[in-house]
Structure 1
Amino acid sequence: MAGRPWHVARTVLTAANGTTGAGLLLALLTRTRIRRGRHGVLIAEGWRLRMPPASCFTVGSVIITRRSAEWLLHEQRSALLAHESRHAGQYAVLGPLFWPAYWLACGWSYVTTGSFGVRNWFERHAGLNDGGYPEELPPRPWLRRFR
């Protein structure tokens, strides 16, 4: 199976750095149901809080979704599952440092384009299209003055 060593390493690293534990705790506190996904990720289904507004997001190796695990695991959403799995890989590398780095990248992207994802390094490297983000947006008018 291609990629298996990375899936195992990612699972071990996110467990060791505590980010998967944080994802499981968040799932437990919000009473989402935890299911086994593919390639070492877990899926917490039934997220009911209004934030974040996305259909799913990742904490460690836990993908948290408003929908069901079956919805996310359906072949039609294989690109979205791959996008969220790439975020799990980012957690494996950065551990808890992912959170401030990600929010800084969100801020930069929002300030420059009005979108949290388009110029966010983490979203770009997880695959903008796969995550449902536009590939490019024009810079905000105030930024164009500096070009």
Structure 2
Amino acid sequence: MTGWQWVKLVGNFVNLSTFAGGLVGVLGRARFSRGPRGLFFANGYKLGFPVAGAFTIGNVVLSKHGREYFDDAALVRHEERHSWQYFCLVGLPMLPLYVVGVLVSFLLTGDPASRNPFERLANLKDGGYVERPVQPIGKTVTQAFSVLRSRPKGP
């Protein structure tokens, strides 16, 4: 690890975001292992939220997939950039700000990542995202309602 990665590791412990990531991993019954760049991997995450291949809280990268999912160096760089965002935003304030980014991106593009500044700063492509163009809000609303209508009803 570089000196700056050590600073981020310690900072995200102090600001409690890594502790929160560990707690979410325990609640999600994930298996923990040490990753590169001061990251911890929490694989086999079993909770259904959020819906993502991987997500980061502090220096903890959580995924429903196995450890081999992180053999992709670009994905690890993407998730590490998110850990820097927690460091720069002094921890858990990142979570509500990220949600605002998701909402704005969804309203502009119909996609939660394309215009989310946190995903853009972490490099959309490295995270496996495709950039969607800005579209009229009416189209976004129509798409959202068609998704809701197509979901199966309860038992």
TM-score range, shorter chain: 0.7 to 0.9
1:121 aligns with 2:105: no
Residue segments in structure 1 that go unaligned for 5+ positions in a row: none
* 1:105 maps onto 2:67 in alignment: no
Give the letter for the 1:124 counterpart: R
- Count of residues paired in the alignment: 138
Q: Sequence identity of aligned pairs in percent?
A: 37
In the aligned structure 2, how far is the partner of 1:113 from the partner of 1:50?
A: 24
1:10-21 to structure 2, matched below 5 A, reads 10-21=8-19
Cα shift at 1:138: 3.3
Letter in 2 for 1:48: K
Q: Using the alignment, how far apart are the partners of 1:109 and 1:89 within structure 2? A: 21
Write the distance in 2 (CA, Å) between the matches of 1:85 and 1:5: 15
* SS across alignment from 2:129: coil
Superposed CA RMSD in Å reads 1.5
User: Is the CA contact 2:101–2:117 (under 8 Å) kept in the aligned structure 1?
Assistant: yes
Q: Distance in 2 between matches of 1:71 and 1:111?
A: 30
Work out whether residues 101 and 115 of structure 2, in 8 Å CA contact, stay in contact via their aligned partners in 1: yes
Moved over 4 A (4+): none
Structure showing greater radius of gyration is 2
Q: Structure 2: state its 5+ residue gaps.
A: 140-155
Distance, in Å, in 2 between the alignment partners of 1:140 and 1:92 is: 35
Q: Partner amino acid for 1:46?
A: G
TM-score w.r.t. the length of structure 1 is 0.88
Q: State the 1:142 CA deviation.
A: 4.2
Q: Provide the C-alpha distance between the structure 2 equivalents of 1:131 and 1:62, rounded to a whole number of angstroms.
A: 16
| Structure 2 counterparts to residues 81-96 of structure 1, below 5 A | 81-94=76-89, 95-96=91-92
